[in-house]
Amino acid sequence: MYSNGQAPIFILKDGTQRTRGRTAQSNNIAAAKAVADAVRSTLGPKGMDKMLVDSMGDVVITNDGATILKEMDIEHPAAKMIIEVAKTQEQHCYDGTTSAVILSGELLKRSEDLIEQNVHPTVICEGFRLAAERAIGLLDNHGISTQGENEVLHEVAKTALTGKSAGAVKSFMADICVRAVESVGITENDERLVDLSDIKVEKRQGGSIKDSSLIDGILLDKERVHAGMPRTISEAKIALVNSAIEVKKTEVDAKIQITDPNQLAMFLEEEENYIRNLVNTIEGAGANVLVCQKGIDELAQHYLAKKGIFAIRRAKKSDMEALSKATGGTIITNVEDMSESDLGQAAKVEEKKIGESDMTFVTGCPEAKSVSVLLRGGTEHVVDEIRRAFDDAVGVVSVAWEDGAVLTGGGSVLAALSRDLRTYAESIGGREQMAIEAFASALEIIPRTLAENAGLDPVTTLIELRKAHADGDEFAGINVYEGGVANMKEANVVEPVRVVEQAIQSATETAIMILRIDDVISSKGVPMGDGMGDMGDFHM
C-alpha cells in the first residue's frame, strides 16, 4: 500500500496471501466445483463407489457422500464450506448429502456464467434467495402422505438403500428399518417423534447380510463373567447396578495395622461376609440377572455363579440406559437399598456366540421402547458399508414417519420445481430474473447426473423429462434401468420431503455465502490457488 507516493506501508504480516475481486470469486467457485465433481459419480442407483485410504493406510470403501467428504483431506477454505453442507444434510436428514453438494457446485457454476455477463454477485444472491423460497414453498404441492401407509415407509427405505452395498437385499433391510422405527416411535400431542438413539446397532463380520436381525430388546457386546453361570435365563428379573460389586475402599488414604494372625483371618472373613451379603441382597430382591456398570469382584462372581445368577460387568452407560428403557428397571447405586420394584423384566436373557465372540441377548421386553439391530457381513469393509447404508435408511424412515409426507425421487420433483421456477422468473423484473432462471437450470443437475451415471445420453433424457412434465406428468423422473423417463410414483421411488427441502436450503445458503466473498486474506500460507490448475491442496 502506498501513501502520497512515499514508500509502501505494510499492513499485513510477511507471508500473508491475498486474492481479490474476480480472481477470488473464480478460485472459490473452482474449489467448490472440484468437491462437487469428486462425489458426482456416486449419485443414484447406478453410482460408483470410492476407495479412500488415509495416512495410516486404513481403507474405507463407500458411496456415501458425507463419508467420502469427511475422509478427504481438504485444505481450501471454500471447499471446506461445501463439506459443511454435507455435514448439515447428514445431521438433519441422514441422506441426500451427495445431492446437496452437487446442487451447491452447480449453483456456483451457473452464477459464474452470470458474473461473466457482468451481473453483480449481490443480484445473483437475491435471485437465488427468491428462487429457494419459492421452490421450498412449492414442495408441499408435490407431497404424498405416509399416514398409516406402512408400505410407503418400506419404499422410502428401499430408495435410500438402492445403489449401496445393501441394495441387493434392500427389501430385507427395509423391513428391519421400518420395524425398528415403528418400535421406538412415539406420538406426543399429535406430534410424532423418533429417537434414533433407542435403536442400538451392533455389527459383526462373518455370515451374510441376510443373517442381520432385529431384536425386540437389547443386544450387549458382553459375556457372563463366570463360566459356572447359566447361559440362558427365562423370566429374567434384571438388576441394573452402577456401582462396583466389591469391597469398598476408603475415600481417604488409610492404613490398617494388624498385629495378630487371627486379626488378619478376621479381616479377610469380614471382607468375604460383606461380599456374600451383597450377593444375598441381590438374590433376596428376586434378581436372577445382574448388569453392572463397574467391576465385579472374583469372589462375588463365585457367589453369583453358585446362586445361578447371570452377571455382566463393565456395561457401557448407554447400554445401561437402553436396558432401563427396554426392561422398565431402575439403575441403582446402592445395592443394599435394592428392592423388587427396582428390577427390570424380560422374557429371556441368553448368551450366544456371534462370529468369534459371545454376545448377550435381552429379549421379550414387555414395554420395550428400545430395540437392537445386529448387522452381519462377510468382511469388515462390507459390514462397515452395511452400517452406513442402514444408518441412512433408518434415518430417512424416521424422518418420513415424523413428517408424514414424502416426495417422488428420480429427479422428478426437481424437474417439476425447475419448470415452475422458469414460469415464476418471468413475473420478476430486473436482473434477478436471470438468477432465478439459473437456479431453475441448476436444479436439473440431479436428473442430469442420474442419467450420466446410468450411461444414458443426458441431453436426450433431460429433453424427454421436460416434455413429460410439460404434458402434465408431475411424477416423471429418470428411469436409470431402462432409459428414458418413468412415473416415479408408480415405480415406488420416494424420499422424505425434509431431505429435498434441506438440500435446497443448505446448497443455496452456501452458494450465496461463497458468492459474496470478493477478498481472501490468508495468513496461514494455505494456497488459495489460481483456479483448477492449483488444486494441489485437494487430496483424495
Active site residues per annotation = 64, 97-98, 392
Q: Name 267's Cβ contacts closer than 8 Å, sequence gap at least 6.
A: 256, 258
Q: Which of 400, 390, 441, 393 is nearest to 419 (CA)?
A: 441
Measured CA distances, 41 to 355, 446, 514 (Å):
35, 11, 24
- Which DSSP symbol is given to 41? T
- The 3-state secondary structure of 86-127 reads HHHHHHHHCCCHHHHHHHHHHHHHHHHHHHHCCCCHHHHHHH
- Which DSSP symbol is given to 146? -
Cβ distance 328 to 322 under 8 Å? no
Cβ distance 511 to 104 under 8 Å? yes
Identify each DSSP E strand in 189-332 by its residue range.
191-193, 199-205, 213-215, 217-220, 232-241, 289-292, 310-312, 331-332
The three cell numbers of residue 82 are 461445501
Q: Is 44 helix (H, G, I), strand (E, B) or coil?
A: coil
Phi-psi sector, 355: left (phi>0), alpha (psi -120 to 50), beta:
left
Q: Name 22's Cβ contacts closer than 8 Å, sequence gap at least 6.
A: 115
Q: Residue 249: exposed, middle, or buried by beta-carbon count in 10 A (0-12, 13-18, 19+)?
A: exposed
At 19, which amino acid appears? T
